[in-house]
Amino acid sequence: MTINIVTGVIGSDVHTIGSKLLSYAIRKAGFNVTDIGVSVSQEELINAAIETNSQAILISSLYGHGELDCRGFRAKCIETGLNDIKLYVGGNLVVGKIEWPEVEKKFLDMGFDRVGYPGMTPNQVIEWLEEDLK
Amino acid sequence: MLLIDIGSTYTKLVVADCTTMEIIASDCSPTTIEDVSIGFHKALKKIEDKCVPAELLEERYASSSAAGGLRMIAIGLVPELTMEAANRAALGAGAKVIKTYSFNLSKKQVKEIEDLRPDIILLAGGTDGGEKNTIIHNAKMIVESSIKAPVIMAGNSAAADSILDIFEQSNKPLYVTENVMPFINKLNVDSVKEIIREIFIKKIVVAKGLSKINDFIKGIALPTPLAVLEAAKTMADLFSEGVVLVDVGGATTDVHSITDGLPCDPQIVLKGLPEPFAKRTVEGDLGVRHNISSIVDAVGKERLLKNANVTDAVDSNTVDIILGQWASEASALPKDYFEKSIDCGLAISAVEVATDRHAGYLEEIWTPAGKILVQYGKDLSLVGAIIGTGGPVINSERPWEILEKATYSNNNPFVLKPKKPKYYVDSSYVVFSIGLIAQINPKAAKEIAQNYLKKMEVKLKYA
């Protein structure tokens, strides 16, 4: 059975390349990807996940406001019935010199299941997906 | 060729010649709901007096919006996605969408649908291979109810088998077709439109008592709003960037735009559900008779008076009294110059608000990388023509002032309305007939439209 996944670039961010590469790679790995593009809201990601019956939402962010844009996302997923959905976030998530473990913890505490560091390859994401969803 | 429209108020007849590519005659008579053939034959008599006996007009086609038009209910999953897609598919097929529903239908909502007695129910939900529990639940709720209307299933294709099973036991009519949203942000309305048309011809026409003139014509071809939309599509071919057609009526104001509406600057980010190339919106709160109070609410009394060109010296109570009379008598026509001004003011206000809602708009967003512009909906700024139809526009002494409100305004620079269109008024009520001819002979329809439009151009007073 195919596994459906939603990808997108959150907030006012319009940096599309990372998310496009990721979508391409995981599609090649056999997942059914719905890429809803750049500058999308939390609600748009959730709506797409509901309609496609997706099992994971993969959020990209490059412009440094990722933390603000992602706040409350897990709560909204639960509220809309997406109780078991996996949430991944990755990219250049914060501004300033903050050590990676601290950034990762911040997003794990916000309810994300996986947090990708800047420059991570799509292969790592595919490994995570296979571990978490298959 | 004889083209007939059994409208909600008037039955209109048009004679067109597909060899000379001209409209030869047109006339109308009030629609007689109890037996539409009475009104039809009255109008036919007028036409026969004007040109030729009806026997010579062998080709006869009709559209109809009598008896409430084609009343539909659209059901989807997420309001912004499949529900909106279903809504747009129904509107694009010429239906009057009386209500939309999302997520799981409740017993109370099913009761509401039973009471609304729609002609057709459009059941969507889930992308192909996506969510299917909701649409299956909703199909069960419909089957278990007393709803008799035909159901068109245009949702997740993976749910089709289950839904066929659910309907098999009942003897309720079900049509399964392509998903209105096969994947996220992809709108697919054509196959739904075809089925709606098929059901309209087979069932609705009979149900609405229109079969009495069926022998005379070659079957009712289209719901009137679809004929108008098809006419707009034909006319759009005559202009490089498409057209906007506004149809002002007593109960609704309809706006049609035929253009891709993509951003004119590649830097602009386009968002939201993609728009149909031929988009129709129906503003049920902007009819110039049935919804006078909501027009006043939408623009404010002051602006209505300004639009009506009514000076301060006039007692505003007088205006209130006239508006009150019209609100209670939908067929009332303006009697004198003053009333005509008010009528024109209502139409101007309705068109202004209806086109504001129909057109796309820009939003400025500040990001760490600077300002970006985001476009929602269709950009109509390059559209070549605005065509006006409907009694209040056609009978107005200042139609250009009404149509001008469908264009771009400096006061509202982010609303993407046409910037330099030409203006045309459908002065002899023939727009629907062009849509009908287009079904049989698209090439002739285009030429007839071209010849007709040449005569119908209106110049701005000060231009």
* Residue among A6, A34, A36, A51 with most chain B CBs within 10 A, to mutate: A51
For the beta carbon of residue A97, count every other beta carbon within 10 angstroms. 5
Task: Name the β-bridge partners of B220.
Answer: B62
pLDDT value at B209 more than 70 = no
pLDDT at residue B313 in the model: 64
Using the 8-state DSSP alphabet, how is residue B407 labeled?
S
Chain B residue numbers with beta carbons less than 8 Å from the beta carbon of A39 are: 269, 271, 365, 372, 374
Tell me how far the alpha carbon of residue A102 is from its chain's centroid: 18
> Contact A39/B181, CB-based, under 8 Å?
no
> Contact A52/B183, CB-based, under 8 Å?
yes
Q: How far apart are CA B262 and CA B376, in angstroms?
A: 10
pLDDT value at B78 more than 80 = yes
Chain B residue numbers with beta carbons less than 8 Å from the beta carbon of A13 are: 367
> Contact A50/B366, CB-based, under 8 Å?
no
Between B208 and B168, whose confidence is greater? Answer: B168
pLDDT at residue B228 in the model: 96
- A10 neighbors A66 (Cβ within 8 angstroms): yes
Q: Which residues of A are catalytically annotated?
A: 13, 15
Q: Count up the domains in chain A and report the number.
A: 1
Q: What does CATH list as the number for B2-65+211-218?
A: 3.30.420.40
pLDDT value at B463 more than 50 = no
The two tokens of residue B154 are 């245009």
> Contact B181/A38, CB-based, under 8 Å?
no
Measured between CA atoms, the residue of chain B closest to residue A37 is B271
What's the whole-number mean pLDDT along residues B421-426? 94
Amino acid B326 reads W
Domain housing A120: 4-133
Amino acid B3 reads L
ipTM of the complex model: 0.86
pLDDT at residue B433 in the model: 96
DSSP one-letter string for B244-311: EEEEE-SS-EEEEEES----SSTTSEEESSPPPSEEEEEETT--TTTTHHHHHHHH-HHHHHHHTT--
Chain A residue numbers with beta carbons less than 8 Å from the beta carbon of B269 are: 14, 38-39
Torsion of CA B114, B117, B121, B126, to 10 degrees: -40
The two tokens of residue B114 are 């039973």
- Whether residue B184 lies within 8 A of chain A, CB to CB, comes out as yes
What's the whole-number mean pLDDT along residues B357-370? 88
What is the 3 state secondary structure string of B58-72? CCEEEEECCCCCCEE
- Whether residue A126 lies within 8 A of chain B, CB to CB, comes out as no
Chain A residue numbers with beta carbons less than 8 Å from the beta carbon of B367 are: 12-14, 63
What's the whole-number mean pLDDT along residues B288-303? 92
What's the whole-number mean pLDDT along residues B236-242? 93
Residue in A34, A50, A63 nearest the CB of B367? A63
The total number of residues written for chain B in this structure = 463
For the beta carbon of residue B5, count every other beta carbon within 10 angstroms. 29
Tell me, what CATH number does A37's domain have? Answer: 3.40.50.280
pLDDT in tens, B133-155: 999 999 999 999 999 999 999 99
pLDDT band at B208 (very low <50, low <70, confident <90, very high): low
The total number of residues written for chain A in this structure = 134
A:19-58 residues touching chain B, CB 8 A cutoff? 32, 34, 36, 38-39, 43-44, 47-48, 50-54
pLDDT at residue B461 in the model: 56
B:33-62 residues touching chain A, CB 8 A cutoff? none
- B432 neighbors B3 (Cβ within 8 angstroms): yes
pLDDT value at B287 more than 80 = yes
Question: How many Cβ pairs closer than 8 A exist between chain A and B?
Answer: 64
**How far off is chain A from B183, nearest CA to CA, in Å?**
8
pLDDT value at B56 more than 60 = yes
pLDDT value at B177 more than 90 = yes
DSSP one-letter string for B69-138: --EEEEE-SSIIIIIHHHHHHHHHTT-EEEEEE-SSPPHHHHHHHHHH--SEEEE--S-TTS--HHHHHH
Nearest Cα neighbor of B53 from B44, B40, B62, B61 is: B44
Phi-psi category of B309—alpha, beta or left, where left has phi over 0 and alpha has psi -120 to 50?
left
The rounded percent of chain B whose pLDDT value lies above 90 is 70
Chain A residue numbers with beta carbons less than 8 Å from the beta carbon of B129 are: 2, 4, 32, 52-53
The domain defined by B71-202 folds into Rossmann fold (3.40.50)
Q: How far apart are CA B10 and CA B128, in angstroms?
A: 43
Q: What is the overall mean pLDDT for chain B?
A: 91
- Whether residue B181 lies within 8 A of chain A, CB to CB, comes out as yes
pLDDT at residue B451 in the model: 92
pLDDT in tens, A8-44: 999 988 899 999 999 999 999 999 999 999 999 999 9
> Contact B366/A4, CB-based, under 8 Å?
no
User: Which helix (H) or strand (E) covers residue A60, if one does?
Assistant: strand A56-61
Chain B residue numbers with beta carbons less than 8 Å from the beta carbon of A52 are: 126-127, 129-131, 183-184
> Contact A65/B269, CB-based, under 8 Å?
no
